[in-house]
A = this chain, B = another copy of it.
Amino acid sequence: MNARPGLGQLGLSAGQKTRLHRILYQHGLRNGTALFLPYDQGLEHGPRDFFANPAASHPKYVIDLAIEGGFNGIAIQIGLAEKFYWEYAGEVPLVLKLNGKTDIPSAIDPLSPLNATVEDAVRLGADAVGYTLYVGSPAQEHDFAQYLRVREDARRLGMPLIVWSYPRGSAIDAKGGKDSFYAVDYAARTASELGADVVKVNFPHPEKSFDVPQPYAADFSSQQAIEAVVRSANRTLLLVSGGERAGDEAMLEKARQSMEAGATGLIFGRNVWQRDHSESLRFAAALREILAKHPA
């Protein structure tokens, strides 16, 4: 297990520390862990993600769920933030997701274009911004250029920057895929190297070792893998994402291993709201129970 770094150790500016402190110690369990509800799938996948639970199509339903379920923040795009967040105004922290794309065209060399700015986030009272970086994409030249401006604005304005660090593109597909230990580990390190304050990664799958670079082809347990990933992130706080809907027990085990490894928290969307309301709350409670065992 890695010791989770304290906010005072991260080289944060006063504003970034203030906003992260608000997320980690004044919401949710108030113990330095975090459970986020991401809700950008309407853009990333389209409304089909809401067919399992049509109520979840409505942003108000989901924000209410975040509050009732004791989440530390909700991550949404500018449009929903403009239209819905004013009504909640600080009841749950806002993570403004700055970029996004539809999944309609092919994603051989993906890039997630900006549709909002750090200044929008300040204006809306957000406590963090989110940026999707497609690690390994042939389009990394544009991605890094775009990211650079975001990071600079975030630093200048004291806004914590959460990087959705996602291995993607043809080269990733050719080297073990997007959730191999190799790819996730590299993504965590990339975010740290590029100045993310918080990084969101998929849970690593060490068993997906076909075609990965040699050092990752050995025999690792998933606990070993996630611990290595947290180490790669070093002073970048790490969130593990839930990804597609899967079995509850598998998800909770992922969460347990992640927290055990020193992650700061979880960011689970579809596994939370693609079921009916009481089931959503029950599952969130189970996640919180895990976080409660890992105070800062």
Contact = CB atoms under 8 A, between A and B. Distances in A.
Interface string A97-139: 0001110111001010111110110111100000000011110
B14 A79 contact: no
Contacts of A145: 113-114
A80 to B, nearest CB: 6
Contacts of A16: 125
A277 interface: no
A102 B135 contact: yes
Interface stretch (A146-154, A244-252, A260-268): A146-154
A192 B236 contact: no
Contacts of A111: 141
A120 B152 contact: yes
Nearest to A125: B18
Contacts of A7: 89
Given A46-B185, A137-B105, A175-B104, A18 B234 contact: no
A123 B125 CA distance: 13
Given A83-B192, A125-B14, A152-B117, A234 B141 contact: no
Given A22-B90, A125-B19, A142-B141, A82 B185 contact: no
A84 to B, nearest CB: 7
Interface residues of A, number: 105
A206 interface: no
Given A15-B124, A193-B42, A90 B235 contact: no
B125 A122 contact: no
Interface of A: 7, 10-11, 13-19, 21-22, 25-26, 40, 42-43, 46-48, 51, 54, 57-59, 77-87, 89-91, 94, 100-102, 104-106, 109, 111, 113-117, 119-120, 122-125, 135-138, 140-145, 147-148, 151-152, 155-158, 167, 169-172, 175, 182, 185-186, 188-196, 213-216, 228, 231-232, 234-236
